[in-house]
Structure 1
Amino acid sequence: MSVILIVDDDSDSLWLLQVVLEGRGHHVVLADDGHPALQIASRYLPDVIVTDWNMPCMDGDVLCERLRCYPALALIPIIMTSAQSAPSDRTGLWNIFFRKPVDIELLATTVDSLAAKRLENRSIRPHCGATPLCRWPAEALKYWA
């Protein structure tokens, strides 16, 4: 099961996306602004983030900037939604942009696809000779026993 974080100051949009994505088997967590979204993202490490651009305290572009600063959150795919066109100078902060009103089926299918890729990468990673969690070589551990 994938975790999807939805960030929007419009409660109707939050509710609609939550119902649709949970119906597709995702676990959905909600935030109404960028500040709580950062805390929730740090806690849940979502597989996909869907965020609105224009919010009262922290806009979606600032949220994306801050998410990209944290190594654990930097590679999470982000879908940006807005009633305005995407500014060309900020496009590298998110993976996909949808202009509102968004076709809910297209958005849900896109979330499914991005979440499936994340889950696939997560299952492959342990078999790729991942770096050990300890920075000390395994031989050094015998001196501590």
Structure 2
Amino acid sequence: MSTVLLVDDDSDNRWALQLALEGNGHRVVLARNGLDALKKLARGIPRLIITDWEMPEMDGAELCRHVRCNPALAHLPIILLSAMPEPGHGPPCWSAVFRKPADLSVLMQTVDALAAERLVGAVAPLAPESPMASRWQAVNPRCWP
């Protein structure tokens, strides 16, 4: 089970996508716009983000830029949903784009694939090769009480 941050200003869209995602075994955290999403991201990091493009206060493209500029979040896959054509200004900050109304089966396959990629990419941190090869190596041992 993976956690998905779902960002959309339309409550009907949030409800429909939440049902589909939860039916596919995902836990869903809801946000109404980009600013709300950033607040939710400060509390916990999901496996991936699904966001609408056009929203009040902060749109999906701006949310993507904020996420990509934050080192703790930059690795997150982002799916952009839009009734408009894909934004063409600058390089895309998202992993996939779906036009509304999106084919739910294809969207769920993409969500599952991106969540699985993130799991495969999540490697446990390596243990230091020697006791001295750690972040404390630079600390003079005489400084410890």
Normalised by the size of structure 1, how large is the TM-score? Answer: 0.86
Higher helix share: 1
Give the drift of 1:28. 0.7
Partner of 2:33 in structure 1?
33
Give the drift of 1:90. 3.7
Residue 57 (structure 2) pairs with residue 57 (structure 1):
yes
Give the drift of 1:144. 2.3
- Mark the CA change 1:108 to 1:90 in structure 2 (over 3 Å): closer, same or farther: farther
Give the drift of 1:58. 0.7
Runs of 4 or more, structure 1, over 4 Å off, are 138-143
- Mark the CA change 1:120 to 1:140 in structure 2 (over 3 Å): closer, same or farther: farther
- Mark the CA change 1:139 to 1:56 in structure 2 (over 3 Å): closer, same or farther: closer
Look at both structures and tell me which one has the larger radius of gyration over its CA atoms.
2
- Mark the CA change 1:128 to 1:25 in structure 2 (over 3 Å): closer, same or farther: farther
Aligned amino acid, residue 56 of structure 1: P
Partner of 1:46 in structure 2?
46
Partner of 1:126 in structure 2?
125
Partner of 2:105 in structure 1?
105
SS of residue in 1 equivalent to 2:125: helix
Residue 2 (structure 2) pairs with residue 7 (structure 1):
no
Question: Which stretches in structure 2 are left out of the alignment for 5+ residues?
Answer: 129-133
- Please tell me whether the aligned partners of residues 42 and 73 of structure 1 are also in contact (alpha carbons under 8 angstroms): no
Aligned amino acid, residue 16 of structure 2: L
- Please tell me whether the aligned partners of residues 33 and 56 of structure 1 are also in contact (alpha carbons under 8 angstroms): yes
Whole-Å Cα distance in 2 between the matches of residues 96 and 102 of structure 1?
12
Aligned amino acid, residue 87 of structure 2: P
Normalised by the size of structure 2, how large is the TM-score? Answer: 0.86
- Mark the CA change 1:141 to 1:24 in structure 2 (over 3 Å): closer, same or farther: farther
Give the drift of 1:45. 0.5
Whole-Å Cα distance in 1 between the matches of residues 142 and 37 of structure 2?
43
Whole-Å Cα distance in 1 between the matches of residues 90 and 2 of structure 2?
27
Question: Which stretches in structure 1 are left out of the alignment for 5+ residues?
Answer: none
Amino-acid identity (%):
49
Q: How many residues align?
A: 140
- Mark the CA change 1:55 to 1:125 in structure 2 (over 3 Å): closer, same or farther: same
- Aligned-pair Cα RMSD in Å: 2.1
Partner of 2:80 in structure 1?
80
- Please tell me whether the aligned partners of residues 61 and 90 of structure 1 are also in contact (alpha carbons under 8 angstroms): no
